[in-house]
C-alpha cells in the first residue's frame, strides 16, 4: 500500500475515475488532525470528521465489548430498526450536502485530490 501511495496512484476510485474528491475525501486527514488536537485544521479538512469518527469508534468498541461478553457480536441485532435506518439516511444526506457545498467554496472548498 505504501508503494502505491508513493507512486502517486490515487486510492480513491472516484478521484481516479472522475478526478473530483469523493464525499469522504479528507476524512482520514481530519481525524488524524483532531487526534493531534488540531481541531480547526480537522474541521477545514472535513467538517463532519468530528461527528463520524467518534460514532465509528463507538460502533467498533460496542462490537468488541459484545464479542468479549457473548463470544459473538450482537450489536447489529440491537441496531436494527427504523430509527437507525432514518438516522443513517440523514447522515448520508448531510454528508452529500457538505460535499456539494464544498464545491461552492464552503468549508475551505473541495479536498485536494
Cα separation, 37 vs 10, whole angstroms: 27
Domain assignment present for residue 30? The answer is yes
The answer to whether the predicted template modeling score (pTM) of the entire model surpasses 0.75 is: no
Alpha-carbon span 105 to 98, nearest angstrom: 10
113 is a domain residue: no
Residue 25 lies in domain: 2-106
Digit-coded pLDDT (tens) for 6-38: 555 556 777 778 888 888 888 888 999 999 999
Residue 111 lies in a domain: no
Which of 79-83, 94-98, 108-112 has maximum average pLDDT? 94-98
Tens of pLDDT, residue by residue over 34-70, are: 999 999 999 988 999 999 888 888 888 888 888 888 8
**Residues whose CB falls within 8 Å of the CB of residue 102, separated by 6 or more in sequence, listed in order:** 21, 108, 109, 110, 111
Q: How many Å apart are CA 87 and CA 108, to the nearest integer?
A: 27
Confirm whether 27 is domain-assigned. Answer: yes
Q: Decide if 91 is inside a domain.
A: yes
At CB < 8 A and 24+ separation, what contacts does 60-65 make?
none
Please report the DSSP string for 30-75 in residue order: HHHHHHTT-HHHHHHH-TTHHHHHHHHHHHHHHHHHHHHHHSS--H
pLDDT for position 15? 77
- Look at 38 and 108; give whichever has higher pLDDT: 38
Q: Identify the pLDDT of residue 101.
A: 92
Cβ-based neighbours of 101, under 8 Å, separated by 6 or more: 107
> Does a structural domain hold residue 81?
yes
Domains held by the chain: number: 1
Residue 84 has a pLDDT of: 76
Amino acid at each position: 500500500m505504501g508503494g502505491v501511495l508513493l507512486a502517486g496512484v490515487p486510492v480513491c476510485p472516484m478521484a481516479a475515475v472522475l478526478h473530483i474528491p469523493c464525499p469522504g475525501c479528507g476524512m482520514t486527514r481530519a481525524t488524524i488532525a483532531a487526534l493531534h488536537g488540531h481541531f480547526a485544521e480537522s474541521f477545514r479538512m472535513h467538517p463532519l470528521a468530528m461527528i463520524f469518527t467518534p460514532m465509528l469508534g463507538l460502533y467498533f468498541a460496542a462490537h468488541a465489548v459484545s464479542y468479549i461478553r457473548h463470544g459473538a457480536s450482537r450489536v447489529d441485532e440491537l441496531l436494527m430498526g427504523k430509527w437507525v435506518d432514518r438516522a443513517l439516511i440523514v447522515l448520508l444526506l448531510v454528508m452529500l450536502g457538505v460535499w456539494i457545498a464544498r464545491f461552492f467554496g464552503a468549508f475551505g472548498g473541495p479536498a485536494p485530490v
